[in-house]
Amino acid sequence: MNATSHPMTTLVKICGLTRDEDVATAIECGAGFLGFIVDAPSKRRLSVSAAAALALSAKGIVPRVAVTVNADDDLLSRIMAEMTPDYIQCHGDEAPERVAEIAARYGVKTIKACAVADDNDMKTAETFVGAADLILFDAKPPKGSDVRGGHGVMIDWAIIKRAPLPKLYALAGGLTPDNVADAVNQTRAPIVDVSSGVEASPGVKDAAKIRAFIQAVT
């Protein structure tokens, strides 16, 4: 697929949810996916049981994504048993084989986040085609940070525009209500993913920003 054949609508993933009211707002505004950071370094970190409780109201309504970072089988088993997510997002150093193994072992769809800073990173991301159901392009975390996402750092969209792209992919990294329409126009991303860009403070979403973000691309 090239960047000119994209679906008419853009789906939005609202990520890093920590509060019931924000889940309700995201559902009401038409989010296409809801993301919860489960037991990984983050200001938006949730325990498995907290993520399970928070995600419950969206079950069967909007696909729920457990965002994990290099999760081992014990953690994944607990996430699958308690939260029953629709997707496991692998946001660490997981290899294509590990992503495929997670899908097969747990019977769950997978999202692989690939950190992009140059054209070579897009080549690495290509190795996940076929292993993951969805590839998510995110910015590289700031140097020295052990937190893999949610920094509000943008990707240079020119890197995305000149790369061969999988049929379905998601764009993340520093998206906001003000820049997301431009991001979609430039990259033709079928899915956009946002965490900090719709927040009042880390983990606390702003309902007006969620609404504006989704309205900007739909």
Ligand X SMILES: O=C(O)c1ccccc1N[C@@H]1O[C@H](COP(=O)(O)O)[C@@H](O)[C@H]1O
Binding segment for ligand X among 24-32, 102-110, 120-128, 173-181 (CB under 6 A)?
173-181
- Per-residue binding letters, 111-150, with ligand X (x by CB under 6 A): ---------------------------x--------xxxx
Active site residue 15: yes
Q: Which residue in 15, 29, 90, 114 is the catalytic one?
A: 15
From residue 39, give the alpha-carbon distance in Å to each of 69, 96, 172, 192, 196.
Answer: 8, 22, 21, 23, 18
DSSP state of 135: E
3-class DSSP state for residue 46?
strand
Decide if 138 is catalytic: yes
Q: Which of 77, 151, 186, 206 lies at the binding interface for ligand X (CB under 6 A)? A: 151
CB 29 within 8 A of CB 10: no
| Minimum CB–partner distance for residue 42 and ligand X (Å) | 3
CA distance 148 to 180: 21
By CB under 6 A, which span of 39-47, 54-62, 116-124, 127-135 interacts with ligand X?
A: 39-47
Our finding on whether 94 is near ligand X (CB under 6 A) is no
Q: Calculate helix-pair angle for 73-82, 96-106, nearest 10 degrees.
A: 40
Indicate which residue of 22, 86, 138, 193 is catalytic: 138
Question: Binding residues for ligand X, how many (CB under 6 A)?
Answer: 28
Helix, strand or coil for residue 139? Answer: strand
Region near ligand X per CB under 6 A, out of 52-60, 127-135, 168-176, 206-214: 168-176
Q: What are phi and psi of 127, to 5 degrees?
A: -70, -10
- 42 touching ligand X, by CB under 6 A: yes
**Spatial separation of the C-alpha atoms in residues 69 and 51, rounded to whole Å:** 15
User: What whole-number distance in Å separates Cα of residue 191 and Cα of residue 146?
Assistant: 26
Question: Which residues of the chain form contacts with ligand X (CB under 6 A)?
Answer: 15-16, 35, 37, 40, 42-44, 67, 69, 91, 138, 147-153, 172-175, 193-197
| Residues that are catalytic | 15, 138
